[in-house]
């Protein structure tokens, strides 16, 4: 009983709870795929929930303060939406040509809606992550078709108004509602603050379970474990490039902003990536590669956090 209580106390730490939810999502997604695939139909709700619980911890003035220094956000979007897709696609053409196109799609999509949550977990600045996610999502309908057409010669279309509506549903409305709640019942928000991150992580777990449950049916019926392992290796390499590039690109900022921008660059909107490949490049290989990439996406943030805790990645003196 004492051991069980000690384990429960450890789950109060957001990173430990995140790891627990990650393992559960992976198990339920792969082994409960026929019963839990319906969760993928509630992607908008779960994403909005992640933003809402994360935003309850972010004062409005912190978000508006980010807008007073646009240079960092401009450079972030150039690196995220233009430079890194080039850095991924050209080597992929040489090293793994059949996977170059889905990797390019992954590289071109904006920051994931969960970026503020991850920024909070690793000790970054969630308000900066909110602005980075919002601006990259607004620019994506322009940059994605342009970059894919320029590099791969393939035309894709990201409808602006549906994208804008999605941003409103997933980011703007939850943010606004969270700030109304913060203003209306500040004491209740303050008392619940230690658990808000856990609520966001739980919503992320539900989202991941649904995506894995839906796509694992295709993965297990069409692909060998060797092929899935190859996809995992390739996408892990891509994530590593993103973390190294993100940490290097943001060296001019404060250390807290540096790790936040690294998270923003490395975390991708998988929902949009899956939409693009199923709409324009609907081969099972492309869809499964996007799905498999969720695994290193989840794991790399843990490694990044541990590197920060061990002080192997340090603020400049």
Establish if 8 belongs to a structural domain: no
Establish if 306 belongs to a structural domain: no
Q: What is the pLDDT of residues 248-285, one digit of tens each?
A: 888 888 899 999 999 999 999 988 898 899 888 888 88
Establish if 110 belongs to a structural domain: yes
Establish if 209 belongs to a structural domain: yes
Q: Which residue has the higher pLDDT, 25 or 4?
A: 25
Sort 42 into a burial class: Cβ within 10 Å, 0-12 / 13-18 / 19+.
middle
Res 13 pLDDT > 60? yes
Number of H helices, E strands in the chain: 18, 0
CA atoms within 13 A on the CB side of 11: 14
Q: Are 103 and 88 in contact (CB under 8 A)?
A: yes
Give the number of other Cβ atoms within 10 Å of residue 164's Cβ: 14
pTM of the model: 0.87
Q: What is the pLDDT of residues 199-220, one digit of tens each?
A: 999 998 888 888 888 777 666 6
pLDDT-above-70 percentage for the chain: 92
CATH code, 179: 1.20.1530.20
19 is in which domain, residue-wise? Answer: 15-300
Which is nearest to 129 in space by CA: 146, 143, 142, 110? 110
Res 63 pLDDT > 70? yes
Q: What is the pLDDT of residues 84-117, one digit of tens each?
A: 999 999 999 999 999 999 999 999 999 998 899 9
Count structural domains, the chain: 1
- Whole-number Å distance between alpha carbons of 226 and 206: 27
Establish if 103 belongs to a structural domain: yes
Tokens coding 46: 């779960």
Q: Are 54 and 116 in contact (CB under 8 A)?
A: yes
207 alpha carbon, distance to own chain's centre? 12
Establish if 310 belongs to a structural domain: no
The confidence band for 3, taking pLDDT boundaries of 50, 70 and 90, is: low
Establish if 312 belongs to a structural domain: no
Tokens coding 97: 């040509």
The confidence band for 125, taking pLDDT boundaries of 50, 70 and 90, is: very high
CA angle 204, 210, 211 (to 5 degrees): 90
Of the listed ranges 113-122, 144-153, 204-213, 242-251, the least confidently predicted one is 204-213
Q: Which residue has the higher pLDDT, 32 or 186?
A: 186
Q: Which residue has the higher pLDDT, 225 or 73?
A: 73
Sort 270 into a burial class: Cβ within 10 Å, 0-12 / 13-18 / 19+.
buried
pLDDT at 317: 46
Establish if 29 belongs to a structural domain: yes
Q: What is the pLDDT of residues 19-60, one digit of tens each?
A: 888 888 888 877 766 787 788 888 889 989 999 998 898 888
């Amino acid at each position: 009983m004492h051991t069980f209580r000690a384990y429960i106390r450890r789950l109060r730490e957001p990173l430990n709870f995140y790891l627990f939810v990650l393992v559960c999502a992976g198990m339920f997604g792969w082994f409960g795929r026929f019963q839990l695939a319906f969760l993928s139909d509630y992607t908008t709700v779960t994403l909005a929930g992640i933003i809402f619980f994360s935003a309850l911890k972010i004062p409005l003035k912190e978000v508006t303060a980010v807008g007073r220094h646009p240079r960092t956000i401009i450079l972030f979007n150039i690196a995220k939406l233009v430079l890194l897709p080039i850095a991924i696609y050209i080597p992929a053409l040489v090293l793994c040509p059949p996977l170059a196109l889905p990797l390019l799609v992954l590289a071109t999509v904006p920051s994931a809606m969960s970026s503020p949550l991850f920024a909070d977990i690793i000790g970054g600045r969630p308000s900066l992550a909110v602005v980075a996610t919002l601006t990259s999502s607004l620019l994506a309908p322009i940059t994605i078709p342009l970059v894919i057409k320029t590099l791969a010669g393939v035309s894709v279309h990201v409808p602006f108004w549906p994208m804008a509506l999605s941003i409103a549903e997933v980011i703007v409305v939850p943010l606004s509602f969270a700030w109304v709640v913060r203003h209306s019942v500040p004491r209740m928000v303050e008392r619940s603050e230690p658990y808000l991150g856990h609520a966001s992580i739980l919503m992320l777990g539900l989202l991941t379970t649904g995506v894995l449950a839906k796509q694992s049916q295709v993965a297990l019926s069409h692909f060998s474990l060797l092929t899935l392992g190859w996809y995992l290796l390739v996408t892990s390499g891509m994530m590593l490039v993103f973390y190294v590039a993100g940490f290097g690109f943001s060296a001019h900022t404060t250390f807290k902003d540096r790790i936040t921008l690294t998270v923003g660059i490395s975390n991708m909107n998988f929902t949009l990536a899956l939409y693009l490949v199923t709409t324009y490049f609907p081969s099972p290989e492309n869809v499964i590669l996007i799905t498999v990439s969720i695994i290193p996406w989840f794991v790399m943030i843990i490694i990044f956090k541990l590197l920060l805790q061990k002080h192997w990645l340090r603020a400049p003196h």
